[in-house]
């Protein structure tokens, strides 16, 4: 029945819609492709029958599936009951060497395991308590030593404390000796207070506890004019140079130094303006001393191409010499400085430097940039006797340092040609053009 209904539905799908439309009665002869004429009552009867067959098929399938579901539920409930009953009544299957053991042996094994676990738990708790107690004792001893150290009293004799104290004292002594030696050699990176403390510690070995006891009653006193720190000297010099318009620092640094200098005591703030013979001698000594590395790096070359000017050592010390406000003239080095007009004797080093920069720029031999040259020219223009005081750059003279730096080498293989000074001056003149 089901197969016949399927065949009928397939034939209806294959046939067109015109199969259900009434044809004219005049067509007596029908071709093979002409569809069969069906009455409306036949179509209605077919549709009703097909619907009934469909309902029967659905009902049959539903009944079959319900029976299968009931059977599966019965099997599942039976399996659950069997599992619960087997877990309570039947012992699980045991494989391995345990299956060969008797009930008494299993009981002994279980008792031994219980004893082992109880012993392990008790010992673990005891070890944990011992570790906590040891940590508490160590922390207590550590803070007791710190309290004793801060109070300045001698600590109680211990086993590990003397060894640690001796090691710390030895390291502190070695460090103090190194700092003191560097300060004596003039290569220390520490301040005066640290150098003095290191020198005192290097001569007198003091235990850390005694050091703490000595540091406690120390009272800070205002430094005297002769013993003021380097920082006070520096801010005083920077403030004085900024007030005179000769500072090489920026506006923010000058303002900061001026504010700090006004906060200093009167004796300290006024100290930089006093130029005693001792300070002049000391400043001269510092300015004249030229390290061998600086002298070796100079190579006799000048900033103006070898015709004169400050050396490398003079340019390095230029900033420190400017802050002295011309109180002490720096002694010349082995290379002769350019001749200056008699009227320039009253000029400061900063003014002389600006005049030299302006003259070198005018001659096309300046190593400075345009902004620096313009700044130097503007400063020289404000001087009363800038024209008379400007150094005269005359004949190009080859200093012995330049000749030594030439090494006898020429650009033509040693058979003649311009020297090193000539080539430097030629490059400067070409750049000036």
268-298 per-position pLDDT tens digit: 444 444 444 444 444 444 445 666 766 666 5
Mean pLDDT computed over 41-60: 89
175-206 pLDDT tens trace: 888 888 888 888 777 777 788 888 887 776 54
For residue 172, give both structure tokens. Answer: 């502190």
Mean pLDDT computed over 150-178: 67
Q: What whole-number percentage of the chain has pLDDT above 90?
A: 6
**Is the predicted pLDDT of residue 327 greater than 70, yes or no?**
no
Cβ neighbours around 156 below 10 Å, total: 9
The pTM is what? 0.18
Confidence of residue 67 (pLDDT cuts 50, 70, 90): very high
Chain mean pLDDT for the chain: 69
d(CA 185, CA 153): 38
User: Are the CB atoms for 333 and 314 separated by under 8 Å?
Assistant: yes
**Is the predicted pLDDT of residue 111 greater than 60, yes or no?**
yes
Confidence of residue 331 (pLDDT cuts 50, 70, 90): very low
**Is the predicted pLDDT of residue 325 greater than 70, yes or no?**
no
Lowest-pLDDT range of 150-154, 258-262, 407-411: 407-411
28-40 pLDDT tens trace: 445 555 555 668 8
User: pLDDT at position 182, please?
Assistant: 86
Lowest-pLDDT range of 110-124, 262-276, 415-429: 262-276
Confidence of residue 338 (pLDDT cuts 50, 70, 90): very low
More confident of the two residues 188 and 316: 188
């Amino acid at each position: 029945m089901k197969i016949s209904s399927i065949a009928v539905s397939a034939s209806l799908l294959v046939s067109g819609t015109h199969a259900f439309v009434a044809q004219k009665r005049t067509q007596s002869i029908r071709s093979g492709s002409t569809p069969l004429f069906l009455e409306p009552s036949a179509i209605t009867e077919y549709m009703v029958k097909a619907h009934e067959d469909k309902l029967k098929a659905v009902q049959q399938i539903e009944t079959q599936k319900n029976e299968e579901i009931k059977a599966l539920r019965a099997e599942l409930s039976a399996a659950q009951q069997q599992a619960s009953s087997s877990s309570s009544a039947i012992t699980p299957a045991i494989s391995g060497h345990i299956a060969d053991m008797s009930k008494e042996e299993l009981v002994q094994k279980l008792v031994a395991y219980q004893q082992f676990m109880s012993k392990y738990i008790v010992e673990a708790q005891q070890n944990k308590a011992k570790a906590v107690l040891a940590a508490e004792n160590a922390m207590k001893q550590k803070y007791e030593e710190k309290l004793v150290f801060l109070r300045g009293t001698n600590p109680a004799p211990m086993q590990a404390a003397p060894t640690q104290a001796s090691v710390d004292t030895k390291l502190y002594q070695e460090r103090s000796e190194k700092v003191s030696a560097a300060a004596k050699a003039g290569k220390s990176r520490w301040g005066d207070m640290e150098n003095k403390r290191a020198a005192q510690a290097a001569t007198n070995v003091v235990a850390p506890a005694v050091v703490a006891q000595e540091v406690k009653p120390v009272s800070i006193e205002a430094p005297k004019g002769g013993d003021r720190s380097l920082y006070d000297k520096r801010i005083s010099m920077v403030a004085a140079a900024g007030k005179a318009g000769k500072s090489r620092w920026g506006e923010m640094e000058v303002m900061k130094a001026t504010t700090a200098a006004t906060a200093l005591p009167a004796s300290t703030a006024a100290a930089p303006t006093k130029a005693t013979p001792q300070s002049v001698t000391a400043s001269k000594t510092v300015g004249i001393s030229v390290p061998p590395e600086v002298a070796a790096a100079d190579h006799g070359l000048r900033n103006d191409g070898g015709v004169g000017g400050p050396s490398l050592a003079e340019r390095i010390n230029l900033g420190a010499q400017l802050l002295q406000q011309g109180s002490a003239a720096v002694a010349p080095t082995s290379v002769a400085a350019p001749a200056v007009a008699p009227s320039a004797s009253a000029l400061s080093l900063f003014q002389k430097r600006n005049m030299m920069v302006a003259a070198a720029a005018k001659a096309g031999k300046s190593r400075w940039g345009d902004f620096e040259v313009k700044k130097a020219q503007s400063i020289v223009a404000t001087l009363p006797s800038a024209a008379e005081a400007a150094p005269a750059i005359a004949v190009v003279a080859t200093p012995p340092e330049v000749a030594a730096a030439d090494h006898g080498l020429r650009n033509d293989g040693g058979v003649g040609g311009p020297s090193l000074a000539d080539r430097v001056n030629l490059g400067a003149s070409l750049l000036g053009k």
